[in-house]
Structure 1
């Protein structure tokens, strides 16, 4: 970005350069890190505050720039009162935070070794609305498919989506310098709603937060965190590419954006993003986070600007980037310009929770002290000694193995009793929803059956209630390659409600017409 054409208010923030790291905060000897309790708390506080600033900064851009970046001439608005206004007028924006707080609360109630079922139950029964992998997982849990099956791609068409990636901050912040312990928590919680690259997104983000406590160098944080992700995964390969492109084009984030777009943005999983510019895939949005951190060069404003301007999930991405950078520099190291207005919201309880920022600063700090002690460190009156962990790769897993979308057919009709269609391939996803008719106040739970080639393969509940809805009507992967006939039967139609089919996507075991081979 040649002239760093950022919005006018941010330019003021550049007048004071950002110094990375907390002076005299830590002393490292071999495999141990000694850090003052004050510095530890400051870093945890910086991580939570950074997330909040970042999501507020990118708020009005979310999914408005899909398949493109935000041009330099377009101002991204910011003011001292923006965070307070958003907390008052748009509290659901802060899903990056209150989703984390669901899991923080479970740990507070049941301890740092709380079982996965407790996390899953709290998540599934929470009052907030959910989307994509989260909502598919919630439906699964409420209907008898427990974690980790709730996040597996055969049961969750959104398994590679960004969901856990934006919720994993808590795991890293409570495991300072201990990325493997953060990964162990992510194994439990992340598999509630994701699998494969979707899970790796949370593992990677959690590891970056964890390593931000012990490394001042952003490139070091990124490279070390990437060691927690198996090299054969497409997630690892995508982030490794971003690191390589940054070295090749160190002053041109847009060139790296184009490289990401060209190589990594072909959606396979998320049905909403297939044959669409929308991309909520974890690795692509993580690539934007990493690009923001690398090209931001420790500058808080520039980091958020670039992570936001790359588009797609452009409130969550600057939230992750600013949270990681906030952990590196600590709360006191975040420029005052960006902290203006924080004091007006730090005691405000996030919607759907009983926690404010001031509450979670303290709670997350106490969880970190417990994890430090549990993992072989020690907690003193003024300092703590962290037993640092060498990042280790988690196990390899892959979603949508051998699954390629080959067509999308519009339907746009109500299923009054039955809907049938034929396709040739190895799988399908039928998108749609159960709804109340205009003026209807009562909810209804449809019972529908799916038949493939005359055999009943599933009976499913289709609630009209938004919070408990089934995100797709029906899907099936790994069918024998060939022609198939699908019939959907609604067993309990209601005059005040309807099931609407939008479209269906067909998958096969190879790309349509072998186009990939022709393009080699």
Structure 2
């Protein structure tokens, strides 16, 4: 053995040198090479594959979105597809593609203002766009329009939806413009993802961006998902959940449903989104990212299986297969996506997405141009038809934890007009008040003072406009643990206008 040991070391060293040597397109390395050379045509093909996969996956899962909450979609439930199917959605339900046209808002800002565009430019483009928003995106839009700019607009103290999946579903562009450079994608996520998310909500977008980025370098899905996870702090819940999925896949390699069950048992609790607490509905980034991962791992590189499994995990079952199919589409490249899926896509590639002047064909070219700029900015070269990427070893982003010391302990239906409420009582360290402003005049903005324990806590501006609405009427976290009272004072009531209080969610410092 003493004689064999030096030879073994020499062999291992030679293997590592070969494995980590400069890469070229078409090779598959078990580690990230220092540089990677790819032709412009191949780079564009992969970028097109990413966008195409996202659009196809979103369409495939569209009819099931949030219809299966806390349950999988059983095998006997048909999910249809036919030629012309994507065109039908473009014509009849263009809002389905919110995760695509949200991406394109950011792509457009990069195109107009360059790679160094400030966070405020992205925030204002997003906040003033015509499309409707929900959850973390809408909470951030309200904040921005009220002068609360990023990163404060996405922080959980200002945004009860900070851990929702909003940036996860719109982070694809960051990886597509950062081929082989996951840390560059993370840098983009830091600037843009914090517009609407924080902590585990932000990590969903960081992880998706990193997987897209590494999909340019390897077709080994297991390698991609593990390497991309290095961008996430190990102490985070998000990291722990993704690690569990990878481990369960190894334990149950032929049974995605068992891994789904394990996820539900351990990771399906939502403590942030007021709409999702205590109910099967779950828009949390962590569990929905797990469904992306389940689709990728158990899909085994098959485009249909990847989409189908991710869809059948339920919850946000259009956005999750969109990301899974987009990542796989980047691995495969546009030309290797099966024709049965591309036939419908080709009918709409020149059509602009709703609320934008950008089509898929234009998105392909914009992302390609931005990728070339990012490659050169990060030390790579573009010479003739060849592009050499200075690859990056994934580095963990900063650790963030939202809703620390906040545990939901009760949700009480109120269902009264604000004028009929003298006082509300609760026992805890935090509260969220849900409701809405009803007015025929979309320009009307209610001004309401919130009093906690007799002290003015805030004067809230509550727009009647759906586009500008405050997603929750009021919330306060990190109060002193104990009994509290809430009272309201409506400063500018008008005839024909009402403010309805629907429910109150209460938090405590301990589970």
Whether these two folds match at TM > 0.5 is: yes
**Post-superposition offset of 1:248:** 0.5
The Cα shift of 1:340 comes to: 1.3
Query: Equivalents in 1 of 2:50, 2:442: separation in Å?
Result: 43
Instruction: Identify the residue that residue 43 of structure 1 maps to in structure 2.
Output: 46
TM-score (norm 1): 0.92
Q: Contact between 2:442 and 2:464, CA under 8 Å: does it hold in 1?
A: no
Match of 2:454 in 1: 454
* 2:486 equivalent in structure 1: 486
Deviation at 1:25, TM superposition (A): 4.2
Aligned mate of 1:239, from 239, 242, 252: 242
Cα deviation for residue 496 of structure 1 reads 2.1
1:203-352 matches, within 5 Å, as 203-352=206-355
Give 1:27 deviation, angstroms: 8.9
The answer as to whether partners of 1:26 and 1:33 remain within 8 angstroms in 2 is no
Aligned counterparts of 1:419 and 1:174: Cα–Cα separation in 2: 54
Say if 2:442 and 2:465, in contact at 8 Å, map to a contact too.
no
CA distance in 2, matches of 1:231, 1:419: 47
Given candidates 115, 138, 142, the residue that maps to 1:139 is 142
- Identify the residue that residue 464 of structure 1 maps to in structure 2: 464
3-state SS, counterpart of residue 484 of structure 1: strand
How much does 1:113 deviate?
1.2
Q: Is the CA contact (8 Å cut-off) linking 2:25 and 2:36 kept in structure 1?
A: no
1:91 to 90, 94, 101: 94
Instruction: Select 2:394's aligned residue among 391, 395, 401.
Output: 391
Indicate the RMSD between aligned Cα atoms, in angstroms.
1.4
Q: Give the aligned partner of residue 423 of structure 1.
A: 426
Q: What is the match of residue 149 of structure 1? A: 152
Residues in 2 aligned to 1:417 and 1:253: alpha-carbon distance in whole angstroms: 51
Pairing 1:361–2:368 present: no
| Deviation string, structure 1 residues 257-279 (Cα, Å, up to 9, x no partner) | 11000000111100000011100
Residue-by-residue CA offset, 1:373-432 (whole Å, 9 max, x unaligned):
000000011110000000000000100001100001001111137552000110100011
- Which consecutive unaligned segments of at least 5 residues does structure 2 have? 1-22
CA contact (8 A) 2:291 2:310 kept: yes
> Which residue does 1:7 correspond to in 2?
none
Query: Alignment partner for residue 168 of structure 2, among 156, 165, 168?
Result: 165
SS at match of 2:283: coil
Specify every segment of 5 or more residues in structure 1 that has no aligned partner in the other structure, as ranges. 1-21, 512-520
* Counterpart Cα distance in 1 of 2:490 and 2:311: 43
Q: Which runs of 4+ in 1 moved over 4 A?
A: 22-30
- 1:406-421 matched pairs, under 5 angstroms: 406-416=409-419, 418-421=421-424
List per-residue Cα deviations over 1:103-144 (Å, max 9, x = no partner).
000000000111000000000000000000000000000001
Partner SS, residue 90 of structure 2: helix
TM-score normalised to structure 2 length: 0.94
2:185 maps to 1:177: no
Aligned with 2:500: secondary structure? strand
- Check whether the contact 2:25–2:217 (CA below 8 A) recurs between aligned residues: no
Task: Tell me whether 1:380 sits opposite 2:366 in the alignment.
Answer: no
- Tell whether 2:83 aligns with 1:80: yes
8 A contact 1:417–1:493 mirrored in 2: no
Q: Deviations over 1:139-160 (max 9, x none)?
A: 0000011110000000000000
Q: Secondary structure at the match of 1:41?
A: helix
Supply the distance in 2 between the matched residues of 1:210 and 1:495 (Cα, whole angstroms).
55
Match of residue 500 from structure 1: 500
Q: Is 2:24–2:36's contact at 8 Å kept on the other side of the alignment?
A: no
| 1:217-268 deviations in Å (ceiling 9; x for gaps) | 0011100000000000000000000000010011111111110000001111
Which piece of structure 1 moves more, 487-496 or 91-100?
Answer: 487-496
Give secondary structure in 1 for the equivalent of 2:195: coil
Structure 2 CA distance for partners of 1:63 and 1:30, relative to 1, 3 Å: closer
- The DSSP-based 3-state class of the residue aligned with 1:323 is helix
CA contact (8 A) 2:28 2:217 kept: no
